[in-house]
Amino acid sequence: MEIRLALSFLDKDKVRTIQPLDNALVVTFRGYDVKRVMVDQGNGAEIMYPDLYKGLNLKSEDLIAYDSPLVSFDGKVVIPKGQIRLPVQADSEMVEVDFIVVDAFSPYTAIVARPWLHALGVVFSILHQKVKYPSGDRIEELVGNQSMAR
């Protein structure tokens, strides 16, 4: 008999959140202890901003070419510095992620998007400020940080 895990959110998942809320879902990744990572299902690419790029001591020779311009939150065209593949650890799970590195201001250090969400099998809720995903025979979760999101 196969047991399937259910990824769901209950009212008790809202404990420790300030309601009503309209915050983005911002999490911290372990391993590198990367704070201020925005989870954005509306984005098709993972983005890395200067604070994280510098914090990881990455250099331009670590990047591969990425020629497509991007549009920032404020509507300006941004030319990427390049792309880099890095492991991203969400508690017990590790996923390789292709980040597009941009030299633009952001309150976030990075944005993880649909490719990361799909690779990990993530279901998330902005209302509950949580990310849940299957890991072996259990459900893991990352809890958002509302104060960091503000």
* Beta pairing partners, 141: 132
Three-class DSSP category at 130 = strand
Three-class DSSP category at 142 = strand
- Tens digits of residue pLDDT in 35-69: 899 999 888 899 999 999 999 999 999 999 998 99
Q: What local confidence, expressed as pLDDT, does residue 150 receive?
A: 67
Helix (H) or strand (E) holding 120: helix 114-120
- The strands making up 138-143's β-sheet, listed across from edge to edge, are 123-125, 130-135, 138-143
The phi-psi region of residue 23 (left if phi > 0; otherwise alpha if psi is between -120 and 50; otherwise beta) is beta
Under-70 pLDDT residues of the chain: 1-3, 30-32, 150
CB atoms closer than 10 angstroms to residue 137: 7
Q: What local confidence, expressed as pLDDT, does residue 53 receive?
A: 92
Q: What local confidence, expressed as pLDDT, does residue 109 receive?
A: 93
**CA 93/CA 28 separation, integer angstroms:** 14
Question: Is 28:35 a contact under the CB 8 Å cutoff?
Answer: yes
Q: What local confidence, expressed as pLDDT, does residue 99 receive?
A: 96
**CA 14/CA 24 separation, integer angstroms:** 15
Q: What local confidence, expressed as pLDDT, does residue 61 receive?
A: 94
Q: What local confidence, expressed as pLDDT, does residue 21 receive?
A: 73
**CA 125/CA 23 separation, integer angstroms:** 11
CA dihedral sign, ordered 142, 144, 145, 150:
positive
pTM here?
A: 0.85
CATH for the 11-149 domain, from 2.60.120.10, 3.30.470.20, 2.40.70.10, 3.40.50.360: 2.40.70.10
**CA 146/CA 23 separation, integer angstroms:** 6
Please choose, from the candidates 36, 27, 58, the residue with its C-alpha nearest in 3D space to the C-alpha of residue 105: 36
Q: What local confidence, expressed as pLDDT, does residue 3 receive?
A: 66
